[in-house]
Amino acid sequence: MLAAGLLTSLTPCMLSMLPITLGYLGGYDSGTGGGADGTRGNRRAVLQSLWFAAGLATTLTGLGVMAALLGKVYGQIGLGLPIAVSLIAILMGLNLLEVLPLRLPSLGNLEVPKTWPQGVRSYALGITFGLIASPCSTPVLATLLAWISASGQPILGGILLLCYALGYVVPIVLAGIFAGTLKRLLALRQWSGWINPASGVLLIGFGVFSLLTRLVPAI
């Protein structure tokens, strides 16, 4: 799950979101200067990045627990939930391959009240980001939540989504700690175009195999 979160965060559109996200967090530009002001700016950027990461981790962990609890509650529906998980995986895989385009959630006109303390704003932004995600992360996240719901294990679900969140926020935290890291991360866009297609193939493979094992037990 940690690796899945990291790979998701390195997709081209997620890397493209980095400057926007750090712009919302505040303090990024001021952290690029020198002297005492530059040091304070770097510290502020690091602190806000960590607050953002905490908010995102809170949301994804909560989603994992809720998905597992719902799966446990509705576990009596037999094959219905596992089959639904398989179909979701196939659907999300086709979306990543751009065979079946879907309108997925994105940051859009995300706004956090400017009157809130900066740390609270960053934490709230992380929570909101975790809820609406981005078109790149939604297919993987939706499949993970569906799979966790089928497991019916709340603690395991929370731990897995926490690991996913930790991998997911690595680029943001690195960009917050080392301002120059942002340019190097953005340069990965030209090399990371394979992540979405590869993820799509894996999701479709998982979905098809899972569906066949449910419908044809002999497999």
Banded pLDDT at 76 (limits 50, 70, 90): very low
* Buried b / exposed e along 154-190 (16+ C-beta atoms within 10 A): beebbebbbbbbbbbbbbbbebbeebeebeebbeebe
How distant, in Å, are the alpha carbons of 63, 98, 153 from that of 102?
22, 9, 30
What digits encode the pLDDT tens for the residues 194-213? Answer: 888 888 898 899 889 888 88
Angle, vertex CA 66, rays to CA 70 and CA 106, nearest 5: 115
* Buried b / exposed e along 4-28 (16+ C-beta atoms within 10 A): bbbbbbbbbebbebbeebbebbbbb
What digits encode the pLDDT tens for the residues 27-70? Answer: 544 444 445 555 665 677 788 888 888 888 888 888 888 888 87
pTM for the whole thing? Answer: 0.72
Nearest to 200, CA basis, from 103, 82, 89, 84? 89
Question: Which pLDDT belongs to residue 120?
Answer: 85
What digits encode the pLDDT tens for the residues 139-165? Answer: 888 888 888 887 778 888 888 888 988
Number of structural domains, the chain?
Answer: 1
Domain, as residue range, for 78 = 2-215
Q: Count CA atoms closer than 13 A to 167's CA, side-chain side.
A: 18
